[in-house]
Amino acid sequence: MNEQHEYSHIKRLDSGATSVLKVDSGKVTLNIREIEDVPGDTPSPDELSIISPLPGSIGQPASGVEVVHQVECYDVVIVGAGPAGLFLASLLARYGFTEKTSLLCIDPRLHVRSAGHADGLHARSLEMFKVLGLYEELMKVSTEVGERARWAEVPSSCQEPESLPATTSDNSRMKRVMRQKLAIAPNARMKQLISIPQGQIERILEEDLKRNAPEALCRGPHVIESCIDETVPSHPVLIIIRDDSGTQTTSRKIRCKYLVGADGAHSTVRKNFYIVMEGDSTDHLWGVIDFVADTDFPDIRRLTTVQNNSGMAMIIPRERNADGEWLTRFYVDMNDIELESQQSSDMMYGIGHPDAKSINQNRKSSIKDDCIYQRLAEIFAPFQMTLKKGTETDWSTAYAIGQRVASDFAKADSNGVPRVFLVGDACHTHSPKLGQGMNISMADSFNLAWKLTHAVFGTAADSTSLLQSYVSERRLIAQQLVELDRRWYSMQWADSERKKQPGYQEECTKLYQEISGFTSGCGIEYAESVVVVKPAQTSADNTSNFIFGTVENDGGLHPNSGMIKPGKRLLNIRMLRLADGCQWDIHDSLAPDAGSFKAVILCGRDILSPASDSAKAIQIILERVVPKFSIALLKTSVVTPEMVHAPTGPSERLFAISEYDLWGLLPSCTKRDAEMTTYALSDTGYNTYGIDPNVGAVAVVRPDGIVGTVIPLDPRVIEAQLKEFLEAILVAK
C-alpha cells in the first residue's frame, strides 16, 4: 500500500449513500448494526449506519475471528496499562469518569508485570502519589535509596564534604572517589528516591482505578487500527481492537472523543497516526539484570557507578523478593561481548536503514545472562560479585541507547481539536541512567488528565487551546530530558582517558547538581501559555515588588528553589491551621479532586485591619471571583503571616496572629468560605515562597500542582487579573 492509500482512511469521509476506502486497486465497504444503549450525545444510528473498515482489520476477517459489528462509544480510550496509562486512567476515574461509557483502558497483557522494567520513583512522583493518598501503599513494597557513590580506576582530586575515606582495591585499581547523601531535591516533601518494581506500581494504580471505575480496565485486547473518522462528529476517533487471549478471537469497533496512546516505545497508536520518533540511537549495548548478589563489594546498597579497565556498571538497590532476599539491579556495559561478526562496521546500521531494526535485535539477543554475570565479575574484581547460590535471575534484558522524541504528541481533527495523544515511552525514549522513564511518563499523564477532564465535561473555556497546552508543555520537557540525558550519559560514561583528566569528578558533581531539579521533577518549569501566565512583578502603582529572591529560595535561580513561580510546582510548606491549631501541609489542600483549581491567598501583615488591602482583596476574591465558577472548579485557601500588625494602632509593631479573636477580625467571608482552609505561615515560609508579607499575593494552582499565575494582593487589580486568567481556561457560570 503506498503512502497515499495509507493515509486515505484518516481523511474525513463525505456524507452519502456509501463510504469507500481504497486499498490498492480494490474497494471495501461495510455496513454495521445500529448502536444500542448509549446515553448522552452518542451518535445516532443513522450516523453509524455506514462506516468504512480499516485496512487489515474487520473488513476481511481472518479465519476463526468473530467480528462484532456493534460500535461501542466512550469519552476517552487509553491504549496501554503500564504506569503512564494506569496513572492517567486512575486520575480520570477520580475526576468523574466512572460511568461504563466514560472510560476504557485496554492492554494485551493479562496481568501486571511480575518482574523487571522500570525501577524507581523520584521526589516529584512521590509527591504526586502522596496527594492521591497512595504514598503509604508505595512505601510498603519499596526501599529508599539514601546514598550514592562513585568508583573509578584512578584517584580523584575531588573530595566531597560528606565523602568517606577512599576504599581502594589494588588489583583492580578501583577507588571510591565519592560517597554522599542523595540530595537531588532538598526541598521535596517526600523521600528523594525509592526503588520499587514497576509491577507493584501497576498493581497499586490498577486497584485504585477499580475502586472508582470498576469496569474501565480491559485486559487482553490489542489495537489493530485507529484513525480519525469524522463521519460521527461527536466521537471522531475510530479504533479496531482484537482479543486473542480467549478460546475465540473477537474484534470490537470502538469510537471515542479522545484516544491516548500509552502503549510504550513500540506504540501502535503512534504508528497508526504516522508520528515518527526523531533523534539518535547509539550502537552501545547495555545489559540489565536483577538478582540476589553474593558479594563483598561495600557499596552494594547504594546508588553506585563503577568504571575501570574492565568496563562500566551501575548499581540500583532493589527491594526484597518473595523469599525475603535483597535484590540488586545492575546496568552493565556489554559492547565488546557481542559476537565479532556483529561488531564489524558493515553490520552497524544507522537509524532509517532498512536492516537496522533486525540487526539491532540480533545484537541484543546475543546478550545472555551468563555474559552479563561474566562481565560483572570482571568489572568488580577482586571483589566477589556472583549470583547467590540457591537463587535465580529475577529478570534481565539488553538494550541499545535511544534518545528520541516524537515529532508530535497529538493529532487533531479537521477543526484543529487535538483528538489523539501520546504519553510516556510512546513519545520519548532515553537511557535509563537518570531513572526518568516511569517518572516522566506519569508526569505526562498528570498534565493531560485534568485537561481532558475539562474538555470532556464542557468546563473548558476553549478546549482546543487547553489540549494544545499539553503538547507545548510536555514535548518541551521531553526535549529537555533527552538533551540532559545526552550530557549525563556522555559525562558519566566517559572513556577512561577522559576520567583521568584533572577536574573530571568536579565536573560530574557540578552537572549532577545542575540537572538535579529536572531529574527530581521538582524543578521542571513550563513556558508561558494559556495555563501559565507570568504577570508583571509589580502592583498597580508600579512601586512594590511582591515576588523577590531570598536566601531561602536562592533568588528563584536554583532549579530546586521554593519561590512561587508560574510554570513550576508549588513547594510544600507546613503551616498552622487556625481553626484548630493543627499542623497542615499545603500540598494536602491541593488534592486534584475533580480537576479543580486552587486559589492560595497569601495575605499581607495588614490582614486584621478591615480597611487594609489584604482584607479588601480577600472580599473581592471570595465574593466576586469565586462565585463566578462552580465550586468544583475553583477552591480557596487563605494564608496569613504568623506575625501581623494590630487591627488599630502603630503599624510598625508585630503581634502573633494567634493572640487575636481571628474570626471577629477577618472578613466574614473567610470563615464562611474557608474556615478549615485558613492557615498561618512563618516569615521563613513567606521568604521561601518569595512573597513579601507586607504586600501579599494570590497564587492560582492548577490541578497538577503547577502554579498557573501569581497576582499581587492589590484590590485595584485583583478582580480583573484573576478573572482574565481563569476565564481563559474555565467556563464561568
| 554-727, CATH topology level | Glutaredoxin (3.40.30)
pLDDT at 332 over 90: yes
Burial 143-158 (b: 16+ CB within 10 A, else e): bebebbbbbbbeebeb
* The pLDDT value given to residue 75: 98
**In whole angstroms, what is the distance from residue 334 CA to residue 112 CA?**
29
Domains of the chain, residue spans:
131-194+280-402, 554-727
Greatest alpha-carbon pair distance for the chain in Å reads 90
pLDDT at 253 over 90: yes
Residue type, 261: G
pLDDT at 309 over 70: yes
Same CATH topology for 131-194+280-402 and 554-727: the answer is no
Give the burial class of 335: count Cβ atoms within 10 A of its Cβ; 0-12 exposed, 13-18 middle, 19 or more buried. Answer: middle
CATH architecture of 131-194+280-402: 2-Layer Sandwich (3.30)
For the segment 343-354, the average pLDDT, to the nearest whole number, is 38
* The pLDDT value given to residue 22: 31
For 1-32, the pLDDT digits (tens) are: 333 333 233 333 333 333 333 333 333 323 33
Q: Among all chains, which residue has been given the C-alpha cell 488528565? A: 449
N-term to C-term CA, the chain: 51
DSSP class of 691: B
pLDDT at 446 over 70: yes
Q: Is 180 helix (H, G, I), strand (E, B) or coil?
A: strand
Which regions of 103-155 does DSSP assign to beta strands (E)?
Answer: 103-107, 120-122, 143-144, 147-152
- What are 505-508's contacts with CB under 8 Å, separation 24+? 505/150, 505/152, 505/156, 505/157, 505/158, 505/177, 505/178, 506/157, 506/158, 508/150
* The pLDDT value given to residue 61: 35
pTM for this structure?
0.85
- Minimum mean pLDDT range among 198-212, 259-273, 335-349: 335-349
Q: Is 460 helix (H, G, I), strand (E, B) or coil?
A: strand
For 117-141, the pLDDT digits (tens) are: 878 899 999 999 999 999 999 999 9
Which regions of 478-596 does DSSP assign to beta strands (E)?
Answer: 574-577, 583-585
**Interhelix angle for 504-520 vs 463-492, to 10°?**
160
For the segment 658-663, the average pLDDT, to the nearest whole number, is 90
For the segment 421-432, the average pLDDT, to the nearest whole number, is 90
Residue 431: pLDDT band with limits 50, 70, 90: confident
Average pLDDT, the chain: 83
For the segment 286-294, the average pLDDT, to the nearest whole number, is 95
For the segment 707-715, the average pLDDT, to the nearest whole number, is 96
pLDDT at 600 over 50: yes
* The pLDDT value given to residue 49: 34
**In whole angstroms, what is the distance from residue 532 CA to residue 323 CA?**
49
Q: Are 231 and 208 in contact (CB under 8 A)?
A: no
